[in-house]
Amino acid sequence: MAHRTNEPEAATFLVETEGSVAYVVLLTLVAALGGLLFGYDTAVISGAIGFLKMRFALDNLQAGWAASCALVGCILGACVAGTLADHLGRRKVLLVSAVLFAVSAAGSAVPRNLTELVIARILGGIGIGIASMTSPLYIAEVSPARMRGRLVSVNQFAIIFGMLVVYFVNARVARMGDDTWNVAVGWRWMFGSGILPAVVFLALLFFVPESPRWLIKQDRPDEALAILARVGGSQEAPLEVARIQEAISHEGGSFADLFRPGMRLPLAIGVVLAILQQVTGINTVLYYAPEIFKKAGLMTTAAMDFTVLVGVVNLVFTIVAIGVVDLLGRKPLLLIASAGMGISLFVLGTALNQRKLEGPWVVGSVLVYVAAFAIAMGPVVWVVMSEIFPTRIRGRAMSVATVCLWISCFLVSQFFLVMLQKLSGYAFFVYGGMCVVAFVFVLACVPETKGKSLEEIEQGWLVSAARDAGCT
């Protein structure tokens, strides 16, 4: 007998099976399109900013605002995403982000002045902020424990892949005409190209179900049971529903509940990991790699070529992370990444300060740094953040952590060029020091969640809180 759901969007998929890996992967790929649009919308500005500067006669301060204003939207989006996800559901919030991506792409393609462009970019940033929290959250809540790390990491892969796609799109558009054409029209095509993936994302979301954990929280267990049967099989599904119901029965749902015993520690871990992902310097490389390479004495064309190589390395090692995160675990990978990033940043800073070491040393250390980030600090931080919070408050808790991440991202992106100008290579020693902090924090504070169900992880926090209370 087939399980049925009251949600029409799920009816196409939900029939009883003994569990379908293909079905889980399908849901993951649809949700990860939010990550692809995250990367696409973030990186499209890199190809357009030079032409925008000439088109609207922007000074350096205005050009910087044009490039970074989307991050303000990211902060706003992350602020509201958790509350919306907990009240409206994960799927509906992803639909909102898809609409915002489409509106932003269209609006960014037709502005008459900088103000109109900024408004459109901030709308896209809100979509990024929403998707950056909700996509991995949805994937974590539909994934079996044995596959969850790899599947959540697919979202990070999609972000990096979106960046690579738009780099190639920007290059293709730029070759369609000369500089005059690009200043007048080309940059509009770069922004407008984002409409297509946004519409595809929007359309596909109508064919995926809501998160089963959110449905149970809304007292809709029959619908959740149908989805879980398709994911893990009809025998396992009732047991999973019971586990989720048991976990939810011990939870509250307000922001105040984030600071209850048993919740403060996972919140602190999530927030600190989110901040460390950014203050260890990744956007200094991803956003400003050409400037770093030119500072090392490379010509502009060579700097751009090596920047593409940075993107390729980022993508390749993100794939490696997906393959090993459920085998080696979260904590060992984060320790390896922190150590590798720190060593490469200290080498990079030394090479820039001692110019006789420039060129190969700079390029090599940047590539090692990106590889180390991609194998853990990028994808695994999102995996841990999507796992460690209880179901009822998971949306709000991830929202808090993601807001902290975007604020850190904005500050690093805003002040890096100033630091590079004033400190030269020593600027990278600062980020290297943050990698040391990350290593110590992961070693001392971050638990291993490999192979555990979300309910087992939650129960562990409650047991720890009860034990601590008994000792006081």
The whole-number pLDDT of residue 14 equals 39
Q: Are 7 and 209 in contact (CB under 8 A)?
A: yes
For residue 301, pLDDT over 70 is answered with no
Is the separation of the CB atoms in 179 and 96 below 8 Å? no
**pLDDT tens sequence across 78-119:** 788 878 888 888 889 999 999 999 999 999 999 989 999 999
Instruction: Label residues 117-142 b or e (16+ Cβ within 10 Å = b).
Output: bbebbbbbbbbbbbbbbbbbbbbbbb
Cβ neighbours around 16 below 10 Å, total = 14
Class of residue 422 by CB neighbours under 10 A (exposed 0-12, middle 13-18, buried 19+): exposed
> Roughly what angle, to the nearest 10 degrees, separates helices 391-423 and 60-88?
170
Residue type, 238: P
At 357 the pLDDT is: 61
Domain 16-208 carries which CATH code? 1.20.1250.20
Q: H helices within 297-329, ranges in order?
A: 300-328
Question: What's the rounded mean pLDDT across residues 409-431?
Answer: 80
* Continuous segment of H or E residues that includes residue 375: none
List all residues 6 or more positions away from 428 whose beta carbon is below 8 Å from its beta carbon: 281, 284, 345, 346, 348, 349, 352
Q: What are the boundaries of each domain within the chain?
A: 16-208, 255-472
Which comes out higher in pLDDT, residue 463 or 271?
Answer: 271
* Residue 98 one-letter amino acid: A
One fold for 16-208 and 255-472: yes
Segment 432-453, tens digit of pLDDT: 999 999 999 999 888 877 777 7
Q: How many CA atoms lie within 13 A of 218 on its CB side?
A: 16
* CATH architecture for residues 255-472: Up-down Bundle (1.20)
Q: What is the mean pLDDT of residues 319-337?
A: 85
Of 98-102, 247-251, 393-397, the one with minimum mean pLDDT is 247-251
- The secondary element (H helix, E strand) that includes residue 243 is helix 236-249
Distance CA(125)–CA(40), nearest Å, equals: 11
- Does pLDDT of 253 surpass 60? no
Burial label for 203, CB within 10 Å (0-12, 13-18, 19+), is exposed
Token pair in block for residue 410:
């904005």
Identity of the residue numbered 390: P
Give the highest mean pLDDT range of 83-87, 91-95, 158-162, 236-240: 91-95
Higher pLDDT pick, 104 / 13: 104
Sole residue written with tokens 């979260």: 330
pLDDT at position 468 over 90: no
| Closest to 464 measured CA to CA, from 260, 242, 270, 249 | 260
pLDDT at position 462 is 61
CB atoms within 10 A of CB 91: 22
CA torsion through residues 333, 337, 339, 340, sign: positive
pLDDT reading at 64 higher than 80: no
Closest by Cα among 371, 362, 309 to 336: 371
Asked whether the predicted pLDDT for residue 382 surpasses 80, the reply is no
| Sequential DSSP letters for 92-141 | HHHHHHHHHHHHHHHHHHS-SSHHHHHHHHHHHHHHHHHHHHHHHHHHHH
Q: Which of 2-6, 186-190, 254-258, 368-372 has the lowest mean pLDDT?
A: 2-6
Mean pLDDT of 325-335: 85
Tens of pLDDT, residue by residue over 213-228, are 888 888 787 888 888 8
